[in-house]
Structure formats: structure tokens, C-alpha cells
Chain A
């Protein structure tokens, strides 16, 4: 019954005209950046973070969340129509989606992506409603020792689940951790790696760093090869699915939703991992597996459901524990802090309007996205024809304004520029930058909780083992680490990601 009351509050908040507007702006922007290759939700949210100062917290978070899951919809459009993933989580969608488009079945492919996403979004939102409050209840009992162990698990998991080389993922995490050390020591105030620059006393600016690595870095790389983005399908027709198509996608959508929901919760998980895993699984078990790679509708349905489900459930650890499972969630936490809200288990009880309003808005946003994406597909197609030489300077200008406005500091703009070069170098060397950002965010939290736990236990490291929850988390982390380094698993893993 209480749940109904809470949901009522959520609907009342999310349906206020003001919040509906921001939800709409969010999903619209999200779709746009999803459609445009070279600009992802991380860079967009980082750019918009400073302007959310002026908004009420609920509206700000509703809008930012909309950008994230909106991008999952938009990304598939580009993937299907021009064989170029608009967003990293749509990489696998391009394989079969583009083949379908070539065979003149772009309409059904787009419809499958949108409907699968909507179904997955609905289920995952419902999961969020059910799981988050009890989890927050448990999280209230979390002390520094438990938080520390949880973050160890998070970092191990993000290495294990990262695509590509294990060593490279590990390197990125460590680099991120080191960057996170810049600034004042929490306990003693000692300056670390600040080179006597007071601007660095509070550490590297998170917004500047993420915009540099994800925004500028991506743009630099895209400038290298201006793709000829010929849109082969100018007019998309036949958005309705046939009965046979419908039958074929039910199974993949359900499985994708389930897998995506689980993988979204895991630290280091989220939309991208979910889509890869769902595609791989479907390829193994589908009765039509022979068609995969040649335009199988299942190859669109499964990853598209999975990435949207993963995008939604990755809010669970963020909202209940205050721990980000991916860079987007790290930015959301930043947005909360800007608004004066302490992320953590207290959000559910202290800010019920924010919590429930945001969850309900996700469902409403998903509904808006179906409407935005199917009838308006022509508009998005046309957007793809905006030339890069107009788009990129505009984005860079926005990045500079965004980085400057956080602290009204030119220093942060330089930081962003430096990390733009760093980001570009990493991409060139085939290093995935996401673990770096995760390490950067989790590193200081990890250190803080480690030292706090040791302080409270009067210097005894046994505290991590004597607390049952902490012990459990550490054991899971150890097991995961062991599994990943086992030779047989390692080769399987590489095989899975290379597909």
C-alpha cells in the first residue's frame, strides 16, 4: 500500500508540466546525441551539468536521466540506417540492423528497436521500484568497511567486465585511481600532486576531466576520418511489425530484458555490456541463428532491449548506495552534489519526491521516446546529414563554456584541453576510457572509506573480515578475480568480446 502512495507521489511529481517539459528536453537531447555519432551521453551530461545549477533538483535529474536512456534509443537509429553506432551500446545492433535496412526492412528493424526498448524500460523501471527501497534499507547499515569492500568489488568487476584486454582495463583503472588522488588529503589536508597550484587543492575537476576525455577526445578522433555518412534509406516506411516478426522477437526481448537488468546493476556494467552479452547469448540459442549477421530481427531485438534495461537498472546502486556503476551514474552523483543532496541510502527517505519522481519520469520518458522515435524518424535521418565541420566547433564551444562555468575558472578549461589530448591518445592506443573515469570517481571514495574504517577500528584491518557483509563482498570480488584470470575463462571471454 505504501508503495502505491509512493508511486502516487512519483506520478504527481513527474507529471507536473514543468517536469514533463524537462523530461521531454532530456529524451529529445538524448535521442539527438544518440543519433549523432561522435557524441555520447557522457559528454552531453557533462556539458549540461553546470546549467542544472539553476533548476530544481528533481527537474535537473529527470532531464539528465532522460539524456542517458534517450541515447539508447537514438543510437540504434544510426546503427540501423548507416551501419555506424551512434552510441557505444548500439555497436552490435548495427550488425543485423543494417543488413535488415539493406534488404528494405529498415522499418521493422526500427520498430523492433523502439518497442523492445520500451518493453525493457518498463520492466526495468518496475524492478527499480521494487528493489531500490529495500536495498536502501540494507544500505543504511553499511559502514565504512562495507562501503570499502563494495567498491573493491566494483573495481574488480569493472576490470572483469570491460571489453578488450584485461591488462589495458586494469591500467585504466589504476590511472583513474591515481588521478583521483590529486588534491587535499581528506584527513590531514596535506596537498598531493598539486604542484603548489591552489586550483588543484580540491582535485581535478570531474566535469572538465570527463568532458575532455569523452567529448574532446572523441571529436579529435572523429576528425581523423570524416566518414562519408551516406544515408541509404531516405524514407522509412512500414513501421508496423508483421505477426511473424512479432513472434520472433518476443523471446529475444524477454531474454534481453532479463540479462540487461542484471548486468545494469553490476558495477562497471550498464548499457554497453548488456547489449554485447545479449547479442552473444541470442546468437548461441536462437533457432534462427544461421541468419545472424545477415539481417536477423532477433539480433536487433535482444541487444536493444538489453541496453535499455541496463541503462535503467544502473540507477539502482546510484540511488540506493550513492555508488556509481558507470561514468554516467558518476555524473548523476555529481549533479546531486551540486544540488546539495547527499547521494546515499538517505535519498529514498529524505528526498522521496526526487526519488519517486525520477523513477516515474523514466517510464514516462520511455513512452515519449517511442512516440519520438517512430513517427519522427525522418527528422532524425535528416539530422545525420549535418556536416561535422559545423557540428564539432559548436560542441567544442559548448564544452569550454561548460567547463568554465562550474567554478568560473579558466583553469578548468585548460584541464579539459589537456584531458582531451589524453583521451585522444587513449582511444588511439585502444584503451577504453570508461574504466578510467570509474577509477577516478571510486578511487577517492575507496581511500576515504578504507582510512575511515581503519580509524574507527583503531588500526585493525580485521574489521573488513569480521563484518559479515564486508567479508561476503570481498569473497565475491576474490572469486571474480580468480575466474577472470583462469586461462580457460580468459580465452572464452576474449572470444565473446571479439564477436
Chain B
């Protein structure tokens, strides 16, 4: 119907490698982009700041983690710590008078540097052992941040982020914050799209799939794992800073604790490893589903007069939410992104499904 491949002929190799070769996809992206840009006028400011903004920021974080987990195939249980390093470095930088644009890059670089130094040792082990050593990074960072007053501002302290200024202009509206987050999200998304079709992306997948086969075609696994760690840490660090400056406006160690790491990990896995659109879905699912479930169950119980107790009402949404995650992963272990792709592949040839096996 609208989504179809027939009649699309590429006359050059670069056209064959275009980001969105199918017209329907191009239109969909254009419409979504227009919506994203016009969102401050289309949705209420409450929706913008409590749903759209966090969704975009966490999607960016999920994309960053997906780079290391989905593409390079290396476990990372300490991604929140990496985001925290970037956030703290940026906040300290701006508090010392460094302009925000430079401070945030420095924040990202700090996260990348610590990430690389750490992965130098961590990457000597693989699989579950790597997962555990990244968890160690998380706990080390938690401890260092909360026990070094120079970083956290003291035990139990909340470090206020200075007012956001971009290119000398003060930004203090929800719209401004939203655009900051959106701009960073778009940059990272475009980078990941390019990664999919570039030699770097292929080398990372080679390392993920079979490192001995990667070596045989000349890929230095260790080097590319380091590159993946550094890049993903940079994205994480900047995202952490964006999260603070656009959403929290103050930084505390709990914002980047281990449960946050697990949450980002859940976004990536539920969304789908190495799936870009999946990271968008995954972040939406993990962020919004608990609230939606809560509202839905309260509504249903009121509507049907079930008379559920307050405790049941508090716990049931969590149970259903957990069950939903399991259900989705049972239906499609490769996540929501793959689910979307299945539907898309079906529609691509509809109604001539037999042309695809």
C-alpha cells in the first residue's frame, strides 16, 4: 500500500545506502520531525515537560548504551554512573564559569576518559564477568561521588545546576529545555543511523558476533571495544548533563544509582538490541508504562466497582507491568524494534506475503 519497495530502483551505490530508501519512511520521518519541532505548541507544557522531554533524554541514553551493548555486544551495568560523571563534570564546569557549550563537551570527554581507563582493565574479561566488573564501576562511582565532598558538595548534598545559558542566551523555558534535549537526541540518532551503514558499525558487529573471525579479517577487537566504550561513554556523559540541565536542574548521587543503570538496560533490551527505533520504543515503554498502567487499573477498578484495596491498587500495576515486559520478550525476544520491523516487513509486501518466505 503506502509502504512498498516495488518501483524503487537504485542507480548508484550511495542511493542504495540512503538512510530511508522507501518514500513512506521518508514521509514518516518528516512528519515525526515536524511534530517533534512543533511539539511545544501542540501539547500542553505539562505533557511536554513530564512525558516528552524525559522520553527524549532517556531515549538518547538508551541509544548510547545500545552502542556498546547492541552493536559491540559488551555488557555494561554501569551506564548510569557514566551519565553521572558527565553530569557532575558539566555542573562543576559551569559553576566555575565555563560556558555551558564547552562544559558539556568537557563533561562528555570526562565520562569517555574514565570509561576508557576503566574498560582498559574491564575488557580483559568477557561476558558475565565484564557485566560484573561494570557493576563494580557503578558502585565505585556511587561511592566516590557521595564520599568526596569536592564532587558531590557534601554528604546527602544536592548540587544546584547554574541557570542554562546557550550562546550567551539565557534558556529558562520548558520549550528551551525541550529543544536542547531534542537537538542532542537528533544528533545521536543520526550518528547511530550512520553507524549502521559505516565501516565502524560493521567492525563493531564483527566484534560482537565472533571476535576470532573479526581478527581474521583484520579487525583489532580490543581497539574497537575501546572505541565503542569511549563513544558510548561520551554519549552517556553528555546525556547525563542534558538530563540535569533540562530536567532535574540539580544533581544528586541517587539520580545515577544502580537502579537507573538497570532501567536504561531494560529500555535497551525491551526496545531491542542494535535497534534504533527500538530504543525509542523501549524508553517510552519503561518510562510511561508504569504511569499508564496505574491510571488504567485505577480507572477499570472504579468503572467496574471492583473495590480493590489501596495496597492492591499500588502493587497490581507493577505486576502487570512486569508481566507485560515478559510477554513482549516472549513474543519477540529481539524487542519492540523487531516487532515493529515484523509489521513493517509484512506491510512492505502486503497483500503478496508469499513473496517473502
| Chain B binds chain A | no
Residues of B within 8 A of A (CB): none
Residues of A within 8 A of B (CB): none
